[in-house]
Amino acid sequence: MKTENTETEILNAAKEIFQQKGMAGARMQEIADKAQINKALLHYYYRSKQLLFEAVFKSAFMLLAPQLNKVLNDDSDLFEKIRRFTENYVSFVIKHPYLPNFVIQELNKNPEFVLKLQSEKNFPSIDKFKLQVSDAVKQGVIMPIEAEQLFINIISLNIFPFIGEPLLKALVNVDKESYNKILENRKTEVAEFIINSIKNNKNEN
C-alpha cells in the first residue's frame, strides 16, 4: 500500500506535463509514464482528465496567489513593498518556470475559470493596496496615480519578461545566458523604474 504517495506522484507528474503543454496538448499516457504508473490509476484517483487538470490548475494558482498578495496585502511601506516584490518574484519564477504562463494561458482559454478562483478565501483583493496608494498620493509621497494602473504596471513589468521570454530574447537579440543576466538585473531595476516614475520630487519632506 503506497496509497497517499501515488496520488501526489500523479499530481506532480501532471503538473509538469500540463504546465508545459497545456490542457489540450497534454496526454494522459504521458502523465502516467512520467509518474511511472498505469494509466488507469489516473482515473482511479482523479476520475477524468478535466478533474486532474483542475487539481493542477488550482494548485498552481494557490502558489501564485501569495506572491500577488505581497503587493496587495502586505503592511510595509509602498516603496519597500515594490522593491521586495520585484526582487522576490524572480526567484519564485525560477523555481516554477512554467507556472505564470500556464495560469495566464489557461485563464485565457477558459475565462469562466476565474469565478471558481475568486470564490476561494485567499483570493487576492486589491482593497488595501488602493487605500495605501491614495494615502501616499494625499501625503504627497507619490504623484497622482490610480492604484489599478499602478498595480497593473507592477504586475506587467514583473511577469511579462518571463511569459514573453522567447519573443523578447529574439527581439533584444541575446542568447539565453545574456537574457538571464538581464532578468537578474531587473530584480532591482524594475523597482527603481517604478519608484522613479511615481515618486514626488517636489516635496522633499
Partner DNA sequence: ATACGGTTTAACCATTTGGTTGACAAAGGT
Partner DNA sequence: ACCTTTGTCAACCAAATGGTTAAACCGTAT
DSSP state of 2: -
Q: How many CB atoms lie within 10 A of CB 138?
A: 10
Q: Which does 169 bind (CB under 5 to 8 A by kind): its own copies, DNA, none?
A: its own copies
Residue 123 contacts residue 67 (beta carbons within 8 Å): no
- Distance CA(125)–CA(73), nearest Å, equals 8
Q: Which does 185 bind (CB under 5 to 8 A by kind): DNA, its own copies, none?
A: its own copies
Residue 32 contacts residue 41 (beta carbons within 8 Å): yes
> Cell digits for 193?
523604474
36 vs 111, beta carbon nearer its own copies: 111
| Distant-in-sequence, close-in-space partners of 26: CB < 8 Å, separation ≥ 6 | 14, 17, 18, 49, 53
Told to check if 103 binds its own copies by CB under 8 A, we report: yes
Site string for DNA, 19-58 (x = CB under 7 A): -------xxxx-------xxxxx-xx--xxxx--------
Told to check if 186 binds its own copies by CB under 8 A, we report: yes
| Distant-in-sequence, close-in-space partners of 96: CB < 8 Å, separation ≥ 6 | 60, 63
Contact stretch for DNA (CB under 7 A) within 2-10, 71-79, 81-89, 181-189? 2-10
38 vs 197, beta carbon nearer DNA: 38
- Distance CA(28)–CA(40), nearest Å, equals 10
41 vs 155, beta carbon nearer its own copies: 155
Q: What angle do CA 47, 49, 55 make, to 5 degrees?
A: 80
Can you give the binding site for its own copies, defined by CB under 8 A? Answer: 20-25, 68, 72, 101, 103-105, 107-109, 111, 113-114, 117-118, 123-126, 143, 145-146, 148-149, 151-153, 155-157, 159-161, 163-174, 182, 185-186, 189-190, 193-194, 196-198, 201
Can you give the binding site for DNA, defined by CB under 7 A? Answer: 1-4, 6, 26-29, 37-41, 43-44, 47-50
